[in-house]
Each structure stands twice: as C-alpha cells, then as structure tokens.
Amino acid sequence: MRLKHLCHQAAGITLFVFLSCHAPQQVDQPAGKSPLVQNLEAIFYQPGFAPIPDQIFAVNDYGAQPDTLVDNTQAIQKAIDAAAAAGGGKVILKSGIYRTGALFLKSNVELHLDSLVTIQAIQDDKRYPDIRTRIAGIEMLWPAALINIYEQHDVRITGKGIIDGNGKFWWDKFWGDPPRTGGMWTEYTKRNIRWAVDYDCKRVRPVAVYNAQNVLLQDFKVLRAGFWTISLTYSSRIHVDGLVIRNNIGGYGPSSDGINSDSSSDILVENCDIDCNDDNLCIKAGRDADGLRVNRPSENIVYRNCITRAGHGLFTIGSETSGGMRNIEVYGLKAQGTNTGIRFKSAQVRGGVIENIWFHDIAMEDVTSPFHFELNWYPEYSYPQIPPEIPESEWPAHWKVMTTPVEPRERGIPEFRNIRISDVSATGAEQAFYANAYAAKPIHDLTWENVSIEAKACGVIRHARNWSMKNVHVLVHTRDSLTLEDADGIDMPDLTSDLPQDPAQIQDVVDPATTINTYRRQYPDARILPLDPETQQIIGPGDTLSSSDHLEVFIFPDGNASLKCLEPLGDGFYYSPLSITWLRTTGQLQIQSEVRHHWTVHLEWESKPGQVYGANEWKYDQEKNQITAEMTNAPFTLTIQ
C-alpha cells in the first residue's frame, strides 16, 4: 500500500496526514460465506442501516472557527444538539483544523468529516469530564473520549477526514519521554503498584462507543491516540469500515490499541489499516471479579480484510476474558512486522469460556510469534497487590474492585476450546508455537488445517488437549522439535530443519564458567555479570535479557559497581529497566526490578559470613570462596555480615 503524505499547517499547528490510496490488500479467500458473515452483512449492508434524516447542520453557523487556537467544543456541540432536537441530521464542518474537547453525538445524527477536516484533541484533562464507563475490564469513572457515542442509537461518523487524538501529552503523563523515564509509571513502579498506573493515569480515547446500537464508523483516519483508539463497549450492531489508524507519530503511546470490542455483539470490522503500540485488533469481555459480576460476553463478531503494521497483536483475545467470547470469525487479515499474530492472553483470575472461533485466510510477514497463547499473562499486572504501607483510606474505589478475590478460585481459570485455524501462513518468525494454559483447564479441541510457518524455533505447548493438525508444515532453523508439556492428544506438525545434519558442523555448548572467564578477560573491570537464561551469555550494560522465571547473577566484589540493563514485561512486548548495585563498603547487593524472578546470586567472598540477610536461603562453598544465595522477589536488598 502506497501512502501519500500531506501536511496541514495553520495557526502554528502542524499536522501530518496519511491518506490510503487503496483499500487494504485482501488475502485470497474461499467464495462461500459462513452463516455468521451472511447474518452480519444482512444487518449492515441494507440501505436502511442507521438512517439519518436529510438535514444539514454546519458547525460554522454555530460559531466554530477552524485553524485557530479557539476551543470549538461548545460550538460543535451546539450543532450536534440542534440536529438531535430537529429529529436528526448530518453535522458538517468547513475545511480546517478544529481544536476541541469532549463531544457527545446524539441519536439519529451523523458527524461527517470531509477530507480536509481535522478534529484535534485539546491537551487539557479538564476538557474531558469523567463519565461512568468500563476501562480495561473494570467499571469505573474515566475521562470522556474526544468523540463519544454514549447510550445512543442510529449514529454515524463518516468521511475521509481526520480525528487527531494529540496523544503525546497523555503518553508523557503515563511514562515520560523517552518511555519509562518518568511520568506516573516511574512513581508507581517505585511504590510497587505498577499494576495500578494503567487505571490511575487517566488518558483520552479518540472514539468511544458505549451502550449504543446501530452505529457506523466509516472511512476516517485516527492519529496519535492517547489511549485505546476505537473502543466499542456494551454495544450491538456496530459496523467499522475503512479506518486508517496511525498512532506511532511523534513517539510511542502506551495502551494505544487499535479497535477493541468489549462485551459487545453483532460487530463487523473490515477494511482497516492499523499501526499502533499495543493490540491492533482485539476482543475483550471484562476483568476478574468485576467482569464475572457483569458476565456479559462478546459474541457474533467478524473482523476481516484488515492490515496491521507495528503493534502487539494482529488479532488478540483478552486479556479481559471474564464474560466469555463465542461465535467469532477472523479472516482476510495481513500482518506486516506486527510483534504477534493470533494472540490469546488471560490470567487465573479472569475466568470466562472462549469458544467457537474460526481464524482463516491470514498471512503474516516478519511476525515474531505467529501463535502466542499465554493464559498466565503478565503476572505483575494481572494479580494486583496493595502494599501494606499504603493505608486503606488512600485506596481509590477501583483499587478495591480490582483486588476483590474471585471465589471460588476455580471460577477464575479461563477455558479456551473449540477453535479452528485454517489457511494461515507465517514467515520470518522467531517461534512457531507458544501455548501456556492450566492443568485444570487446558486449551482443548483446536483444529489446525493448511498452516505453513517458517521460524527460527518450533516452540512449546503446555497444558493442552486434543489438537488435530492436517497439512501443517513448519520449517525451522534449529534441530529442536516441538516441546510438549502436559499435552495429550496433540498431533505433531510436519517439521523440517534447514540446518546441516553433519555432527561435525554442530558447535559445542560453552559452560557458564568458561563464558564468565572469557568475558572477564575481555572486560576486566566488570564486577556484575547477569547470565542470560536463554542464550547463556553475559548481559552487559544496556543489553536486554530474555524472558525467564529464573535469573543468575555473578558478583566479583572487589569494589563498588552497578549495572543497568533491560528485561521484558509480561510476554515480551514491553521492557523495563533492571538495576543491580553492589556496595562493597556496606556489603549490600541491591536489585531493582519490576518483574518477579527467582534469583540465584553467586558472590565471591573470602570467608564464610556470619549471616546473609534478605536471602530465602544461602550457602558458602569454601573451595570456591563463594556465597550462593537464593531469593524470590524484586526489588530486594541482600546484606552480608
């Protein structure tokens, strides 16, 4: 797809516009359509869907002034209200950039944005009043979106214009610039409440549809979302068609999901092109005890004929799965450099049954993990705990909701079943398969047909039952096969390796001691040596660790030293700093990490110490003059006396 780059400049505002010259490329698909697709097309393709009376209301007649620093919120809202009072109509705008706060569309009203019209968010939290809604699976107060369809029916947003979320203001509020160097993220990480910042740091969505029916979102572009871009919650009969989303302009925004359907039904999303910094296309259904209380599923949904570029999931289910999901079809998608392809994520407090889903006719290029099913996703986020030093009087209401236990505990375990994956190709992957569920509720009854994957490694499947594979081919750049753990009734793919079979061409694995000695000869001043658990290589300053539950660190304590590197969060699409500091004068080792690990620390020491405080257990090897200490936590301080 070729993109034309245009630039509007007015009143000191520069805006880059990305216009798609063609509809998203479509993957070849079978001619027949499923009953679900036919039913949705019968709803959305009829001429009378979301009818709008033939009346025109120009915002400029109500005082709106484009290409100025004027706040146009009241003027545009007056035009919307006038249209609604007259029984409905189309609200239009002259060419230009309109700065505005929260706008609320009304029933039987269409907001039409011509190609040279931009609605741009004012970067001021006060312009977006808190309203009752659901955010990331929790019902709570949250700022209104830039454009809201809130408890209305028969509403349209159409045209080739732009909705500019102007999100850099909220990105920096969340994690600073560069990311994870400031903002509320840094403060909350230091206070051991990283899980809460996503809910406490209020940010503005470009478009939110809430408890609405009969809505059409068509042909416009969305730039720089402050939070989720298109949010569809508790709604039914929603058609999203031909949107272009570009969120990675001028930085990288946290939680800038593309199009999210949340506990909604009868949804058709098609012909969209999405570049973001979180899940590109996603379905959700509530979180934990609150989501189980609401218990509203996402169902009867089709996503088709879309392209995803940068982002964390071509198509993601979860992690908010509590209300369940069923009767979903996803096809005709193409991923170009997206981190993950088909992605399931949940946690053992989410619950929900996810079933009757069909993925087909999908192509992925340079996707790191084409099939990534992690049902114990991001524990540091999924299992919130309030530190005892924070008094209950300071807890926001949503903290109490989020920390409400799921009872009985078994209800919190999600179940994924009856899923079909057919006619899918993936090239340039790191790992062909990754699946991790629960022994109590394995991922079961998956059907794989006509799937082709080229990857560096085959991968691992844990806690799975009854996966049939027909005409599934995997080309890998390793000799390892597919690893199965607690996996019964799993057909194996046709596996081919492109590595030489001559044992003489295979290099021996170097043991850790040799690796450490070699590294210290090259870097004699190095005193803190973390060992990467996957590659068995030393991690230097600024490097990135692989994801692992267990980390080893070797300390050579002949002077003070510190080391900072990065490690992946969750399933590897965010990174956070890991800091290790050795203070020889006080005999203290300090480790600052957002991720919970089991740590094994090896530390040279001239004689057996009297005590090692902060360790779960420790021992001293007199032959090596070495302390080995074991800890499970982060951050922590180890003190040797």
Q: Is residue 360 part of a domain?
A: no
- Taking residue 87's Cβ as centre, other Cβ atoms within 10 Å add up to 11
User: Sign of the C-alpha dihedral, residues 400, 406, 407, 409?
Assistant: negative
In this prediction the pTM is: 0.82
Strand partners, 135: 138
Q: In Å, how far are 158, 208, 600 from 631, measured between CA atoms? A: 57, 45, 7
Q: What is the pLDDT of residue 571?
A: 57
407's CB contacts (< 8 A; 6+ apart) are none
Q: Write the DSSP string, 369-387.
A: EEEEEESS--HHHHS----
DSSP-derived 3-state class of residue 5: strand
Q: Is residue 414 part of a domain?
A: no
User: Sign of the C-alpha dihedral, residues 354, 378, 390, 411?
Assistant: positive
- pLDDT tens for 166-210 read 999 999 999 999 998 999 999 999 999 999 999 999 999 999 999
Q: Is residue 418 part of a domain?
A: no
Q: Is residue 191 part of a domain?
A: no
Cα angle 281, 594, 551; round to 5: 105
Please check whether residue 176 is in contact with residue 186, taking contact to mean a CB–CB distance below 8 angstroms: yes
| Domain finish residue from 246, 277, 308 | 277
The whole-angstrom separation of Cα 510 and Cα 518 is: 11
Nearest alpha carbon to residue 8 among 114, 123, 71, 96: 96
Nearest alpha carbon to residue 68 among 7, 152, 11: 11
Please tell me the number of Cα atoms within 13 Å of 8 on its side-chain side: 23
The whole-angstrom separation of Cα 494 and Cα 469 is: 9
Q: Is residue 183 part of a domain?
A: no
Q: Backbone dihedral region of 102: left (phi > 0), alpha (psi from -120 to 50 degrees) or beta?
A: beta
Q: Is residue 50 part of a domain?
A: yes
CATH number of residue 25's parent domain: 2.160.20.10
CA 70 to chain centre: 35
Residues in the chain: 641
With 0-12 / 13-18 / 19 or more C-beta atoms within 10 angstroms meaning exposed / middle / buried, residue 630 is middle
- Domain around 215: 1-167+203-277
- Split into its structural domains, the chain has a count of 2
| Domain finish residue from 262, 277, 292 | 277
CATH number of residue 567's parent domain: 2.60.40.1180
| Domain finish residue from 226, 244, 277 | 277
Q: Is residue 139 part of a domain?
A: yes
**In which residue ranges of the chain is pLDDT below 50?**
1-23, 25, 503-509
- pLDDT tens for 24-73 read 545 555 568 999 999 999 999 999 999 999 999 999 999 999 999 999 99
Place of tokens 């998956």: 446
The whole-angstrom separation of Cα 232 and Cα 247 is: 18
486's CB contacts (< 8 A; 6+ apart) are 439, 442, 462, 463, 464
Q: Is residue 234 part of a domain?
A: yes
Q: What is the pLDDT of residue 567?
A: 78
Q: What is the pLDDT of residue 534?
A: 64
The whole-angstrom separation of Cα 12 and Cα 46 is: 44
Structure tokens at 373: 């099913």
Alpha helices (H) along 301-438? 379-382, 397-402
